[in-house]
Amino acid sequence: MESKGDKSNRQLTGDGISFRDVLLSGVLNCTKVVLLEVPWGKGADWNYSGHWGRFCNFPLSGQSMSNTSSLLLSAALCYSNIERRHVVSPSVIIIGGGFAGIAAARALQDASFQVILLESRDRIGGRVHTDYSFGFPVDLGASWLHGVCKENPLAHVIGRLGLPLYRTSGDNSVLYDHDLESYALFDMDGNQVSQELVSKVGEDFESILEETNKIRQEHSEDMSVFRAISMVFERRPDLRLEGLAHKVLQWYLCRMEGWFASDADTISLKGWDQAIFLSEELLPGGHGLMVRGYRPVINTLAKGLDIRLSHRVSKIARRYNGVKVTVEGGSTFTADAAIVTVPLGVLKSNYIKFEPRLPEWKEAAIADLGVGIENKIILHFEKVFWPNVEFLGVVAETSYGCSYFLNLHKATSHAVLVYMPAGQLARDIEKMSDEAAAYFAFLQLRKILPGASAPIQHLVSRWGTDVNSLGSYSYDRVGKPHELYERLRIPVDNLFFAGEATSINYPGSVHGAYSTGIMAAEDCRMRVLERYGELNLFQPVMGEDTPVSVPLLISRM
């Protein structure tokens, strides 16, 4: 699946006979795919002609063949110059080795495609990153399975691996991935907020959100969630909260901002709950933490795939019957099709040049969809000195000043707290050094637990500035339609798109990314089949051969 130059991605025809016809006639059988990396040199030709004629190095010099005999001659040369090869399955290049990319690669390899995956980092997983430097697994990216049920597209892998989950909530919690069963909230002076007040403000928060729903229906123009909440307070002063209750409300808002990785004044009122309420595919089963981390899942899916690490794609050229992908350093790869799964933030940065440019509607979708930031500052302590609850919180005057610590000791028995800032706060903390960021998190903890001892180790994620992600996950921006996710997914010729930001039902999630990878693989398979009609070559990529037989292992202490 390789080539060395540009020019002749046109269908090679001579006197009305296509190159494909020649191949089919049995004269030429030189299409065995060899996954080679060829340096991209000046003047080299891109002698690529789709999966029927891939990797034939006969000299075409960028001209189409003038007649059949010259084509046959070249074909004969090709036949004699290289080893006897078989007509093979089509080829695809997957760009990005997160859950979407690995899922697509797995599905297409299982469907007899020649697959090569190019990943810019020196590891797979993308925004799933389990770190073992503490001597046990901790996730710097995703750590929850949202929707612990057999309908979850990842359930079959997680179930078969026997990976344990720790339940942090059932369905329909106002706090998304937690319920109010096991927690402790404090004010800035270290006084614990009563559970009655927290529950009461939770109900108020739900009432406020219901009121914002009325505002949404009354206004054709979109607005931010923050603006809508302010309007609710104007028309329903009885819902306004004062003093400590106001601070607790800010803490609920802070958790909502964490869910969207963005501040309330940037989140679309029309869009914020689209994926949650309008989707018919809302997954039941609540939320479960991956106790052993997500790494075993991605490693299992990636087994046996041809993955090239440290291959940062800088250019994607598409022609009628193939794609050519250039990586940093100049090497190029060619194939029948490509699936782009790089994060939305990377697409927004325009680091990858598309040739020809992507259509306007696609560029607009990339520009208009929001990408937010949520980070993790993981603090490892010598021993546990905090209450035995699932999470700790600090309430404050504004959501920016509030804090949230996930207590991993509950789920994993390790003395670890995970501080998770989002939106502007996360952006500000990314400007600090790792040490300063860890100290900042520790200071928040010391506000509520003055006797807290310093952590012995820390880990700090930087999803916003990491060039491989440039953001944590997508969200609906004010005034932009939810359909942008779908527009981002829609293929452009032989370029397919996958990744969490292409999931209309489950954006911003691991299972969402995974299902878009499967979907893009199926779209790609269908396109190649339509083009070449090799129906008997492939297995369908959708769905599992066998139904889920292993139940998920979830518990709560």
Ligand X SMILES: Cc1cc2nc3c(=O)[nH]c(=O)nc-3n(C[C@H](O)[C@H](O)[C@H](O)COP(=O)(O)OP(=O)(O)OC[C@H]3O[C@@H](n4cnc5c(N)ncnc54)[C@H](O)[C@@H]3O)c2cc1C
Residues 115, 2: contact at Cβ < 8 Å?
Answer: no
Q: With respect to ligand X, which residue has the nearer C-beta, 321 or 375?
A: 375
Omega cis (within 30) before 356: yes
Shortest CB 154 distance to ligand X, Å: 9
- Is residue 419 annotated as involved in ligand binding? yes
Q: In what order do the strands lie in the sheet with 377-380?
A: 183-186, 391-394, 403-407, 416-419, 377-380, 457-460
Q: With respect to ligand X, which residue has the nearer C-beta, 51 or 121?
A: 121
Q: With respect to ligand X, which residue has the nearer C-beta, 96 or 393?
A: 96
Rounded Cα–Cα distance for residues 428 and 426 (Å): 5
| Token pair for 286 | 């609540």
- Is residue 176 annotated as involved in ligand binding? no
| Residue 548 CB coordination number (10 Å) | 17
Shortest CB 471 distance to ligand X, Å: 8
Beta bridge partners of 307: 117
Q: In what order do the strands lie in the sheet with 322-327?
A: 332-335, 322-327, 313-319, 353-355
Q: With respect to ligand X, which residue has the nearer C-beta, 62 or 491?
A: 491
| Token pair for 304 | 């046996």
CA distances from 485 to 3, 451, 521, 522 (A): 33, 47, 17, 18
Rounded Cα–Cα distance for residues 324 and 46 (Å): 9
Shortest CB 118 distance to ligand X, Å: 5
Shortest CB 464 distance to ligand X, Å: 9
10 Å CB burial of residue 351 (0-12, 13-18, 19+) is middle
Which of 237, 231, 251 is CA-nearest to residue 178? 251
Shortest CB 497 distance to ligand X, Å: 10
Q: With respect to ligand X, which residue has the nearer C-beta, 90 or 343?
A: 343
Q: With respect to ligand X, which residue has the nearer C-beta, 11 or 349?
A: 349
Shortest CB 16 distance to ligand X, Å: 40
Shortest CB 475 distance to ligand X, Å: 11
Rounded Cα–Cα distance for residues 338 and 323 (Å): 7
Rounded Cα–Cα distance for residues 117 and 363 (Å): 24
Residues that bind ligand X (CB under 6 A): 95-101, 118-121, 126-128, 141-144, 146, 312-313, 341-343, 346, 351-352, 374-376, 461, 463, 468-469, 472-473, 499-500, 508-510, 513
Q: With respect to ligand X, which residue has the nearer C-beta, 321 or 341?
A: 341
Binding-site residue ranges for FAD:
313
Binding-site residue ranges for substrate:
419
Binding-site residue ranges:
313, 419
